[in-house]
Structure 1
Amino acid sequence: MDLTHTWHTLLWPLGRLLVSLAFGLLVANLIEALNWTRFLARLAAPVIRLGHLQDVVGASFSMAFFSGMAANSLLAEAYGAGRLSDRELVLANLFNSLPTYFLHLPQMFFVTVPFLGPRPAGLYVGLTLFAALLRSVAILVYGRAVLPPLPDGCVVCHLKDNDFSWGKALRKGWHRFTRRIRSMVLFTVPIYIGIHYITVFGFFDAVEKWLSAHLGFLSFLTPQAISIVMFQVVAESTAGLAAAGAMLGAGDLTTRQVVLALLVGNILSTPMRAFRHQFPYYAGIFKPRTAARLILHNQAFRAASILLVTVGYAVLG
């Protein structure tokens, strides 16, 4: 391939991707640092009453919109004092998955769009958001069915006012951006280039023939889609997005195939990654046995909800 062809098919698309990725990541981190979810925390009091959940659970739910560690610390304190049962602790931790999702939603969306484009990114992020909403609704329904009604209380009494500073928020957002952009570029550039060349040299055509002869049960995923899943499992989500963006840009996969591959990779990769990254800080808040139990429940519930959404999208999408 000559230099002109390489520029138009690889270097220029990759350069545009990196610029838009950096801009989107910067905007997302600034939005997160400015605590855009403040107004959502006000919904905690009426919502927890629907599920017969205690005030401390509502306070933790509100805190989770700002800091997952602060939210879990509040639950650990209440659990250690005997104000929460084992069942209530698990339900509270599961219930906090929605505000935790919203906390990182800007970064997830603004990072996904440069890789996939607005429509595929909107579909993927929207489906994972729908799964998070389903989990919260399921917790409320289950809590209302198994927990006794509670007297009126005071959610805000458990909350502490946090000082807010624009300068501090902007510095925090910039620090997160500089730390995150380095790792994303290190994953994105080699994966994008690698996907480009192995596609050009016919690697996926050979893999497709091998799969058709040996792994018929994976026929619902193309070889390109399977590689997206593999990148997500063995590396991080950015790697899967980089691979998906390269294949989508080259026309090797449709939007539906990319979204399904990312959802499947999400299901398979998240549990192990959660134990690797979450267990150390969970074990610092709860006892190790309790931490492992909470992570196990959380990831099993999360995987089940995303699997349900994936099947629904595969059938109806």
Structure 2
Amino acid sequence: MDFAHLWHSLLWPLGRLLVSLAIGLLVANLIEALNWTRFLARLAAPIIRLGHLKDVVGASFSMAFFSGMAANSLLAEAYAAKKLTDRELILANLFNSLPTYFLHLPQMFFITVPFLGTRPAALYVGLTLTAALLRTVAILAYGRVVLPPLPEGCVVCHLQDGQFSWQKALRKGLKRFARRIRTMVLFTVPIYIGIHYLVVGGAFGAMEKWLSTHLGLLSFMTPQAVSIVMFQVVAEFTAGLAAAGAMLGAGDLTTRQVVLALLVGNILSTPMRAFRHQFPYYAGIFKPKAAMRLIVHNQALRAASIALVTVGYAIFG
């Protein structure tokens, strides 16, 4: 392979991807640091009434748009003070999945676009957003059925208004960017190069024969799509995106195949991601037993909602 071919088939696409990724990640982190979701927190009071949820749940919901740790700390304090039952604590934690999703939405979108392009990224992010909305609707419907109506409360009484500083927000955004871009480059470069040479060397033909006899569960997917799933399961979301971007760039997968592979990988990586990242964080706020119970419910509902939109997209997409 001469240098001209190497430049056009690998080095130039990879360099362009890294530049786009850095720009997108910087913009996303600055948007998050500037608390773009501030106005959405005002929706908490009327929404919680639909699900017969207490005002402290609404306050936690509002906080979750800015800080998941602050939101969970508020729930932990209310639970310790017997202001929330076990069922209410679980519902409150599940209810916070929507603001937590919105908190990281800019970063997810601006990271996904450089790898996949605008249309595939919009499809994937849109489907995961649909799953988050479905979870919220299900929680409100369940709460309305099983919980008794509550008197009018005061959501804002549980909130503490801090002074907003543009300087602090920008510094926070730049610090996050510097930390995140290093990790992403470490994953992206070797995976992108590896996928390129696997495609050139015909490795996926051999993988297809192996899958047909050893992995019937994913037999409906091509070997290239399965590799995206595996990268998500054993590494992280960025690794799956890097593999997906390489496949799309080489023309080996369609947009539909890539989106389905990312959704399937999202579902299968749920247990590993939960215990790798969530348990230490949750155990520091709640007692270990409560932390485990919250994680199991949270991840089970998350996986079920994504599975539902995956099936819907596979049939109607």
TM-score bucket of the superposed structures, by smaller chain = over 0.9
Q: What is the CA distance between 1:276 and its match in structure 2?
A: 1.3
Amino acid at match of 1:167: Q
Q: Does 1:167 align with 2:167?
A: yes
Q: Does 1:122 align with 2:122?
A: yes
Cα distance in 2 for partners of 1:25, 1:215 equals 36
Indicate the residue corresponding to 2:265 in structure 1: 265
Indicate the residue corresponding to 2:203 in structure 1: 203
Q: What is the CA distance between 1:206 and its match in structure 2?
A: 1.4
Indicate the residue corresponding to 1:65 in structure 2: 65
Amino acid at match of 2:207: V
Indicate the residue corresponding to 1:181 in structure 2: 181
Q: What is the CA distance between 1:143 and its match in structure 2?
A: 0.3
Amino acid at match of 1:59: A
Amino acid at match of 2:210: W
Q: What is the CA distance between 1:217 and its match in structure 2?
A: 4.2
Kindly provide the CA deviation profile for residues 239-274 of structure 1, in whole angstroms up to 9, marking residues without a partner as x. Answer: 000000000110000000000000000001122112
Cα distance in 1 for partners of 2:217, 2:284 equals 42
Cα distance in 2 for partners of 1:30, 1:205 equals 43
What secondary structure is seen at the aligned counterpart in 1 of 2:269?
helix
Q: What is the CA distance between 1:218 and its match in structure 2?
A: 2.4
Indicate the residue corresponding to 2:244 in structure 1: 244
The TM-score, its normalising length taken from structure 2, stands at 0.99
Distance 1:288 1:217, change over 3 A: closer
Q: What is the CA distance between 1:216 and its match in structure 2?
A: 4.1
Amino acid at match of 1:267: I
Cα distance in 2 for partners of 1:276, 1:7 equals 38
Indicate the residue corresponding to 2:300 in structure 1: 300
Indicate the residue corresponding to 1:221 in structure 2: 221
Structure 2 residues not aligned, in runs of 5+: none
Indicate the residue corresponding to 2:278 in structure 1: 278
Cα distance in 1 for partners of 2:264, 2:210 equals 21
Indicate the residue corresponding to 2:156 in structure 1: 156
Cα distance in 2 for partners of 1:196, 1:217 equals 26
The TM-score, its normalising length taken from structure 1, stands at 0.99
Indicate the residue corresponding to 2:254 in structure 1: 254
Cα distance in 1 for partners of 2:159, 2:218 equals 49
Indicate the residue corresponding to 1:316 in structure 2: 316
Indicate the residue corresponding to 1:80 in structure 2: 80
Indicate the residue corresponding to 2:147 in structure 1: 147
Matches within 5 A, 1:22-61: 22-61=22-61
Distance 1:214 1:278, change over 3 A: closer
Q: Does 1:138 align with 2:126?
A: no
Cα distance in 1 for partners of 2:182, 2:300 equals 31
Q: Does 1:103 align with 2:103?
A: yes
Q: What is the CA distance between 1:72 and its match in structure 2?
A: 0.3
Q: Does 1:90 align with 2:118?
A: no
Cα distance in 2 for partners of 1:214, 1:189 equals 30
Kindly provide the CA deviation profile for residues 217-248 of structure 1, in whole angstroms up to 9, marking residues without a partner as x. Answer: 42211000000000000001000000000001
Q: Does 1:194 align with 2:194?
A: yes
Kindly provide the CA deviation profile for residues 163-207 of structure 1, in whole angstroms up to 9, marking residues without a partner as x. Answer: 110000000000000000000000000000000001000000111
Kindly provide the CA deviation profile for residues 82-104 of structure 1, in whole angstroms up to 9, marking residues without a partner as x. Answer: 01000000000000000000000
Cα distance in 1 for partners of 2:251, 2:208 equals 16
Q: Does 1:113 align with 2:125?
A: no
Cα distance in 2 for partners of 1:270, 1:107 equals 19
Cα distance in 1 for partners of 2:302, 2:210 equals 33
Amino acid at match of 2:228: I
Q: How large is the RMSD of aligned CA atoms in angstroms?
A: 0.8
Kindly provide the CA deviation profile for residues 45-83 of structure 1, in whole angstroms up to 9, marking residues without a partner as x. Answer: 000000000000000000000000000000000000001
Cα distance in 1 for partners of 2:283, 2:209 equals 46
What secondary structure is seen at the aligned counterpart in 2 of 1:285?
coil
Cα distance in 2 for partners of 1:155, 1:54 equals 9
Structure 1 residues not aligned, in runs of 5+: none
